[in-house]
Amino acid sequence: MSAAANHHASAVAFGPEGGILILGRSGAGKSRLALALIDAGAQLVADDQVLLTAQGDAVYARAPRSIAGMIEVRGLGLLTMAYRRLARLVLALDLDLPPARRLPDPEMRPLAGPLTGLSLPCLPAATDGAFPRAVAHYIRALKG
């Protein structure tokens, strides 16, 4: 695997091959979306900081050891929960993209730093409504 690159993001996974990288500026709702996806059946991988590595054309996410199993919830502080140690990323959700009326085909998002040359499919994200459940179904359909 390549050297780990630390990204300001969150990550959850629907199994070892169904990882989702959650992108957005500070305060955009990354942790809130992660919690909603966890409620829809995902497991926490990392919150606020995600270590990304590559093996071939696959991108993997894990938490820095110091924050593994922790997620910050506004108004409550840090919560500890079960987490997945490593997940292969199959999708990025970006809270800074304008919301879509329909779930569009994902656009490829190039990665930077040690992961230059790799990319992930990326969709605009929402933190409310049925979006987290729709993403759960989308990931399960991808996995077959």
Model pTM score: 0.92
Which residues lie across from 91 on neighbouring strands? 20
Task: Dump pLDDT digits (tens) for 24-72.
Answer: 999 899 999 999 999 999 999 999 999 999 999 899 999 999 999 999 9
Q: What is the 3-state secondary structure (H, E, C) of 36-99?
A: HHHHCCCEEEECCCEEEEEECCEEEEECCHHHCCEEEECCCEEEECCECCCEEEEEEEECCCCC
CA angle 5-8-9, nearest 5°?
105
From 1.10.3720.10, 3.40.50.300, 3.40.30.10, 3.40.640.10, which CATH number describes the 5-143 domain?
3.40.50.300
